[in-house]
Amino acid sequence: MDQELHYEYNVEGGDFSRAGYASSQIKKILKRLNIDAGVIKRTVVACYEAEVNIVAHAYSGAVYFDIESNRLKIVFRDEGPGIEDIEMAMTEGFSTASEEVREMGFGAGMGLSNMKKNADQLNIESEVGRGTRVEIIINT
């Protein structure tokens, strides 16, 4: 990529009707830039899971999407309850989602492992009572 690009999106906690909006915008941008289809697929899966986590768990958040020379960097930052035990949260099948969210087919404890499988790097920092920052790196 010759030029570096930056985009930002807001994500509202609890607003499931808009969940996936930021991911779909990111997908559109990558398609327009003719990024490799496999890279787009991995980015979309990782981003959707991170975006849904903000909707399902946090009060509000934002997505910072950077297209760099040989990688994509997508940062999901939220104000929310934070994650008490990140290692536990990474365990497939572990979820703290509400019953209501589970009935919609979310909260199966697959989100973080989907992110891990599809990202080249996944960095999670969280402070209980304040919020979480998830950084996804995808090499292009």
Distance (Å) of CA 134 to CA 18, 21, 24, 64, 88: 19, 17, 18, 10, 16
Nearer to another protein, 48 or 132 (CB): 48
Q: Is 68 helix (H, G, I), strand (E, B) or coil?
A: coil
Question: Which residues contact another protein (rule: CB under 8 A)?
Answer: 16-17, 19-21, 23-24, 27, 41, 44-45, 48-49, 52, 104-106, 108, 110-111, 113-114, 117
Q: Is 69 helix (H, G, I), strand (E, B) or coil?
A: coil
Min separation Cβ 126 and another protein, Å: 20
Phi, psi of 75 (to 5 degrees): -110, 130
Nearer to another protein, 18 or 130 (CB): 18
Nearer to another protein, 118 or 126 (CB): 118
Min separation Cβ 104 and another protein, Å: 6
Q: How many residues does the chain have?
A: 140
Nearer to another protein, 28 or 130 (CB): 28
Neighbouring CB atoms inside 10 A of 119's CB total: 24
